[in-house]
Structure 1
């Protein structure tokens, strides 16, 4: 089932049209496409020279989880973090310093992380961890290899070889996958009752399974998917009609939709679209 989900859904960021030396997204190979949304980072090593400049960016909930490496070639150092699933936005900031650096990351679909991890996901919501806690082999087998590569293409090549060997399909839970399939075809407009009937499990059991596999409750994840689908409509359509979206996504009224969107995005739909287009 996990192999089919990515064909129904691809989440986007707050600036989905951005592409350049400081940020680029590259799709994975065909075999990894069901599990990896994209690889992302700097397209090549960046030499930064402005010590006091701060770069800020809005990071919105994208229903994914990321392993991120920050490589400092000048000092021959590499840092890492595992970013669990988020249901809040935050500001990402970085200070430029006079060194040669790069960023490289793997963006996993939330439902696929468990197939690569050593631990379950029950404590990852809105949290950052040392990668080694959840992915011991990732840290120790990939860090030195990444430090010795100069382009994102080279880093992707070595990472994909490792990931293809790492997949543990025995950790896939079919009840969770069936529920997510129902969420996706409903574009997040589905009740817990409908989900439990479709997956043939009790509400309590589905709650427990989702916490283990994804780190959220089924209700939280459904709401995140609905928000992501709504955001894609807002930013990708030339004309967006709020009242049509109220009906499409099952909101009570226009105020409910606008408040829900702002709670995730920290901006109104108009402000969010302007920010996304300005960052193009």
Structure 2
């Protein structure tokens, strides 16, 4: 079985916004995977309506550095995979829906299933075109009657098997670079601090393989996610100017990058 990246869960929490504005009609929740999977998979999640919606619902997925697989419970035979995103994404959803998904921690899915992450960057694809065997296994899940709590035990069996027989062996130089970026909360100097024994060109190739984008873009998202985790108020953002300690040049730089990754201004996000 592969050894996990040390401390990844304590160093990085890929958060997604709540379903604010749905007036209690939409539920989003997460459950933990098996303990042996927790440094590879952040969570299993579900997003569903509690009652038919009167108005259109657009679910916003913010940039989190991860890859997800997901499916509508009415169609487990049509699972999708969403790659690394360098900006937020919005999904228009019908008046009734129930999605179940898996959020893999950075680098985990390409390692377990032998894909090149860059092939999926900023897009989603039918899982059967990427990992056909996994797609077939998910298609057998009767998620409509089982629900997330039962589906999570099925997921555990699938991914523990993958963890015992990964498609490739990890490159320690890549994981050392990821560890340094996470420990620095995305503020590491990529030229000075990532002393991993590889050239910038080689490091970019490794990040294309495992993450799907450059070390610089991944660092931006790590920095952004740490601000989300801190949950500052709009007032504390103005008073404490945490964007300086987070490595932004100035307030304008912070707001521009935040809007790209979140889809709204920091003031609106933390209202």
Q: Distance in 1 between matches of 2:234 and 2:155?
A: 35
* 1:57 counterpart (52, 56, 59): 59
Equivalent residues in 2 for 1:1-280, closer than 5 Å: 2-15=5-18, 22-42=27-47, 49=52, 53-72=55-74, 78-96=77-95, 102-147=98-143, 149-167=145-163, 168=166, 170-197=168-195, 199-235=196-232, 239-241=236-238, 244-274=241-271
Q: For 1:194, what is the secondary structure of its paired residue? A: coil
Q: Distance in 2 between matches of 1:7 and 1:270?
A: 27
Q: For 1:151, what is the secondary structure of its paired residue? A: helix
Q: Determine the structure 2 residue equivalent to 1:278.
A: none
TM-score after normalising by structure 1: 0.84
TM-superposed CA distance for 1:181, in Å, is 0.7
Q: For 2:36, what is the secondary structure of its paired residue? A: coil
In structure 1, the gaps of 5 or more residues are 275-280
TM-superposed CA distance for 1:3, in Å, is 4.1
TM-score after normalising by structure 2: 0.86
The 8 Å contact of residues 66 and 105 in structure 1, kept in 2 or not, is answered as: yes
TM-superposed CA distance for 1:16, in Å, is 8.1
RMSD of aligned alpha carbons: 2.7
TM-superposed CA distance for 1:180, in Å, is 0.8
Q: Determine the structure 2 residue equivalent to 1:277.
A: none
Q: Distance in 2 between matches of 1:170 and 1:10?
A: 25
Pairs aligned (count): 264
